[in-house]
Every structure is written in structure tokens, then in C-alpha cells.
Structure 1
């Protein structure tokens, strides 16, 4: 980011996320990249100096499962909402995400090339955006928002839905290729039922093995990967066998799932905070009574699944999956994670592990030379108490993205 004023953070406790330890150092960023992390580091004479004494510097956070266009928990409403209004809501959502410390996010359906470009060019303030475009769904699957009595074309109504229906191997290939053509960083498939779709059961499996493998083949041909929405063990295991890189949610996993995660070197992205928030507030933000009643099924087993996966050594990335006015609870996920794993592992899930999932190891999620200068300067130690990140508005002194101070 040429032209950005250099920054030096002096005498701060800098977190090495890999090691799980702090060192007292100066952090120097130039042109949006971290130049050095060292004691008494040299810095450009025109650098902005931040006194880091007694402060804690950690990498900018990464949320690996968001929906930045989801201004309502009712995904159906997006199919007839004007694009201009969706954009205005999205700009607000993304700006607030950034100020919660998330400098990069992975969108799991809804965001597109235009939003990512607007953020990159500085037209839109928010996290850097990895997007899939629209998720691929079978007819009657988690991306098909038609009610039982509706027979219109599921892909031909409105601008801003989160899914596209593609049935059969050839149609799945074509849909995956089309999303990749439009710049997708990954392809998302719906491999099971879900809460926010009107006609499927949570315990259903979706897509044949051949259809899922077709999506994986197309993504891999483009040097991309597939993320799969899946709740039950049966759905999770089928998707892992088909070669997907990440399982989204995964609340009802079993021992076979854990074995497959390790064998396939795949990632789990648990999104427990969204079920907590949906139970608390979902009706207020557009969730129907029927959908609200589904939440308990996936909420009650969520923490247990995370604990099992952590104990087994499964790679887990931070994900929130919040909708509508519930986005404000994004950081609450840290408090939930802290119940079943050490603080450093919760932090890794939102930094180094998430960066690995996004295939950007060493570029984001670390405070190290050569990485993007995305950093949080905190007044308290999140290793000692992960609720520092859950209550981030009380502890964030400086938010730095691409070497620019965004907020103080």
C-alpha cells in the first residue's frame, strides 16, 4: 500500500501466535507490510510513533465464516431486496466488523467480486474479503429459498440471494466454474440441511458423492478449494470423503468425522455463537418460528463437538456466521471457545489457523516481517483472559489494517 505513512509501535509486548509467547519489541510497518519486529528497531524518520509500553500487540483477527450481506436472518428477503439497499447495509456491517478487530473475513455466500474490489480500493471500509459468490445447492437444499408452494425459477428472482441451485454433475461443474470465473476464492456447497432454509431437514444429506466430487475437481483445477455446509456426522463424513477442505458448523460430528478430518488434513469451522444469538434474538431479526425451533438441535451439541475436535487435534478456524442485527455478537465466539480450549488456541483459530485455511500463511494472522500490517494494540492480555477479545471495545487502543491506523 504505497503512500501509507510508516508506523512504529515502540516497546510493546508482541504476540508470537505460533509459540504462544510475548516478546518486548518494536514493530515497524512500511507501505502496508511489517518490515521488522525487533528490539530498538530502526524506523523511517517520518513514521508515526505509537507508545506500546504496557500494551499487547496481536495480529488482526480473521473470521472464517461470515455473511456480510446478511442484514436479516431471513435469507429469502435478500432475493427481492434492491441491490442498492443491500450494499448500504453491507457497508455498515463490514465497517462494524473491522472495528471489532477483524481485518480479514471469509464470506460463505452472498459477497461478490464488486464488494471485494470496493474494499481493496478503499471505497468501502471493512475487512479484506475472501468470497465464494453464491453457494451451490441441490433443489430443495439449504440454498433453495422457495417455499413448498412456490414453483418459480430458484435462480431467476432478484439480485442478492445467497445460493444457486444446480442439480447433476454437469450443472454443478458449470456452476462452480461460473463462480470461479467471477473471482471466487473458494467454492461453497450445501452438503446438509440447515436452520435458515424453508424446506429441508437439518439431518438430511444433500448432493450425491459424484456432484460433490465434481465441485472439488473444479475448485482444485483452479487452485481453489471447497467449503461444505454440514451438520450431521453422516453429512460431514460424506463431504470429507469427497475431498472438501473445510466443514462449516459440524455440530453433530462423530469419531469417524474426527478420523477423517485428520486423514484428509481438513479444517472444521464451528460457528457456535450464531446458535446462541439465534436462540436469544433470532425472532427479532426475521427468523421464522419453524426455523427458530430448529436451533436447539444444533446448539446443544456444539460445545461438545469443539471440545472433541480440539482434543483430537483437528484444525479449527474461527467462524461466527451471524445474521442481521446479531452481527454485533461476533466477538462473543471467543468467550464460548474459551470454555473448551486454552486462550491461545482460540486466538490461533482466528489468526494462524484461519490464515492457513485461507491459503495465506505468513501473509495474515501473524505479526512478522513480510506479513500484512494488520495489528491490534490492546490494553490487556488476551492470553491471560480470552474475554479481552470478547469485550474488545473495552480493550482496543489501536486498530491497524494494511499499515493504516483505522481506529483509536
Structure 2
């Protein structure tokens, strides 16, 4: 039997406007028909009573297994315990209206398969496996006095170490063999890693180019963790498609990204979260001092990228107990990005980045029925999106109702 959503106030994310009351017919897991007149016929009818209906949200930068902000502690935990905490995190994401996520370090084929089969309640997972990192890079969690790091793939961690062109090619091929939708590289220093600096470049250009070559042969793309303008420029010049964070960008590099068609995925939510409660969530105190170097610069980078027309997807990068902040990215970007563009970042732009146009990110015939309904007009008041966790009336994923107030 089809599902019929009646009296939906439809938000067209492409046009950036609410087009009025529509009636949507869903057969199986896809949208069959959208009508401006009531639909006749049998089916499971849900009257949305004028609620705003828009596509399910896409978070393009998550770490589903990061139940703690102390990432160096992950490899010492039971994989079963980490999986249990991951399932808890995924359920919370779905209840916030995120029907699809892109994991850029830690998520893998097993959890993605479990979600796709219906064993795990959570958003659809596009995964890259373990992020590739050089020694002393952002994925190297060894302390200065520690020589070894367990590299077994079943050991929970967000990254893996590889050095030199041969090793990075081998590591990329291994992630591709495991079903990766993209390859993540650490191209710059980071906050949560103990021995690198925020301004350090990581991987040689030959190594970056080799990883991009492997991804291209598999018809997938490369994602780069990068803050500084120099690291971003190196990555994009060597074929990286998606820049994560980008807090320390400058005007020239933003222009270069636009020229090359690269995406930016800002993650302001995590820096605000780490500043406010990172230590309490497990971030070692010694690493917290790095936050200030990127926190204030992040909003300026978003403003520059928007002005230049660089496509930006929605991302959060939250760790530990801070996952509940997933919707705060709307509030943090809302001061410099128009509401319509911000809503597109979490829908159609995110879908384009994930290379799944025609499948998700829009309400249109033939698309997967990933939908959320709520009260109010976020185009007029973007703060509505930051409160969705409390106000969602309906979440539909893959044609199934997974949360409902009706």
C-alpha cells in the first residue's frame, strides 16, 4: 500500500521558497507523485496539517564511532562496546532529522551494512573507512614516548598510518576493497592529535597525488582534513575534491577552490562544542589550547567561501557527548549565510558532494522518500532548524516513518 502525505507545506530547496500545500504519494521507498490537489485512492494517509515538509538532512562530516573526544583512547576499547555506542549515536542523528551522513574517519562497511539492512536505526551511511595519515600526522595518536600503534583493522580508530607513495597507494586500495565511498586524508595538523601542529602540512604532494589517482580509478573522490590556506591549496592542486574545516583559508585560496570546483565542508559546531565542553567530554587538556587558533577564524572562512560561490555542504565533526549539538551548525553559519543557501547545504549540495544526485536531497518524483516535517518557516527564521530535535513532527527515511507525532 502506498503512503500518502496530505496537506504538506512543501519547501522547495532549489527555489528557496515554500511553494504551498502539496500532497505526496510514496510507493515503496520512493516518491511517486506530488500533487497540488488532494490525491484519491487507498493507502496509509498521514495528514501533516500544514506542517513544513522538506528533504531529510545530510551531515557530510561525522565520526559515528567517536563516542569520546579522547580519540587516542579508542584503540584500547572493545570493538563491541564501540559498536554499541555508535548505534546510540546513530539513533540520535536520525531523531534530529539527519537521514544521511558521510563518515570521514572510523565508520566502516559493517555498520553501514547493518544500517542498510535495517538492523541498526540511524541515517544512511556513506563511509570512507579509516582516514589515511602520515606518521606524526592528525591520524597518529601515539604519544611522543610511544613507538607502536596497533594497526589491526578491527581495532577501533579514526585513522591509519601510511608513509610513502607505495604505502599510501596500498592503504587507499585497501579502503576501496572494503567498499569506501571516498578516501579521507589528513593533509594538515589537527586538534585531537597529540604530536602535530595546526599549521603543519601533511603528506607530500606525490603522496596526495597517488591517493587521488587510486580514488579516481575507483570512481570515488578524496576528502582532506585541512585548515590552513597552504594545506588547502596543496590538496586542491593535487585533485582533492572536498576540503574539511578550512578555518584558516584566505581569499586567494578560496578563489582557487572555486576555479577547481572543490567543495568546502565547514564544521563550526565542533569548535564551539570543544571550546565549551571538550575537556569534560574527554579531550585532553593539553590539546584544548589548539582550539582558539581555529575557532574565531572559522566563521570568516565561511563568509569568504559563500561570497566567492564555493559550494559548501553541512558538516559538524562532533565528538563524544557533544553529538547533541548537531543542529547548532545552522545557528553558527546563519549570521553570514542566507537561510536558503544554508538549507541547500544540508540537502542538495550535500547530495551533490556525496555523488548521489537524483537519489536524495530533494522532494521530487523518483527520489528516495527521505523527508522531515515540522512547524514554521526556516527561510524566515533559520533558528527553527536549531530546535528541530524538539519540534520534529515526522521523520521518514527510505519510505518508512521512523519518527512521528501523528
Above 0.5 in TM-score? yes
Question: Residue by residue, what CA displacement relative to the aligned partner does 1:203-225 show, whole Å, maximum 9, x if unpaired?
Answer: 00000000000010000100000
* Correspondent of 1:32 among 29, 32, 37: 29
CA–CA distance in structure 2, aligned partners of residues 394 and 54 of structure 1: 18
Q: How far apart are residue 180 of structure 1 and its match?
A: 0.4
Tell me the TM-score normalized by structure 1.
0.97
**Which residue of the partner structure matches residue 107 of structure 1?**
103
- Specify whether residues 158 and 44 from structure 1 end up closer, same or farther in structure 2 by C-alpha distance, changes over 3 A only: same
TM-score (norm 2): 0.97
Distance 1:157 1:264, change over 3 A: closer
**Structure 1 CA distance for aligned equivalents of residues 398 and 148 of structure 2:** 45
* Pairing partner for 2:318 from 322, 331, 337: 322
Tell me how far 1:156 sits from its aligned partner: 4.3
**Structure 1: tracts of 5 or more residues without a match:** none
Partner of 1:390: 386
Q: In the alignment, does 2:67 pair up with 1:79?
A: no
Task: Provide the rounded CA distance (Å) in 1 between the counterparts of 2:100 and 2:165.
Answer: 33
Which residue does the alignment assign to 1:145? 141
The equivalent of 1:309 in structure 2 is 305
In structure 2, the gaps of 5 or more residues are none
Asked if the contact 1:154–1:164 (Cα under 8 Å) also holds between the matched residues in 2, the reply is: no
Q: Cα offset for 1:301?
A: 0.5
Shift of 1:21: 1.6
Deviation at 1:6, TM superposition (A): 2.4
Separation in structure 2 between the aligned mates of residue 13 and residue 42 of structure 1, nearest angstrom: 15
Q: State which drifts further: 180-189 or 35-44.
A: 35-44
1:169-180 → structure 2 map (5 Å cutoff): 169-180=165-176
Contact in 1 for aligned 2:97/2:389 (Cα 8 Å):
no
Alpha-carbon separation, structure 1, partners of 2:53 and 2:230:
42
Helix, strand or coil at the partner of 1:316: coil
Deviation beyond 6 Å, 4+ runs, structure 1: none
Listed as ranges, the matches of 1:35-114 within 5 Å are 35-40=32-37, 42=39, 44-45=41-42, 47-114=43-110
1:159 is displaced (CA, Å) by 0.8
Q: Residue 265 of structure 1: CA displacement?
A: 0.5
| Paired residue total | 403
Counterpart contact for 1:79–1:157, Cα < 8 Å:
no
- 1:161 counterpart residue number: 157
* SS class of match (2:189): coil
CA distance in structure 1 between the aligned counterparts of 2:209 and 2:150, rounded to whole angstroms? 23
- Check whether the contact 2:142–2:149 (CA below 8 A) recurs between aligned residues: no
Q: CA RMSD in A?
A: 1.2
Q: 355, 359, 364: which is aligned to 1:368? A: 364
Alpha-carbon distance between aligned partners in 1 of 2:189 and 2:51, rounded to the nearest angstrom: 45
Distance in 1 (alpha carbons) for counterparts of 2:276 and 2:218:
41
Counterpart position of 2:375? 379
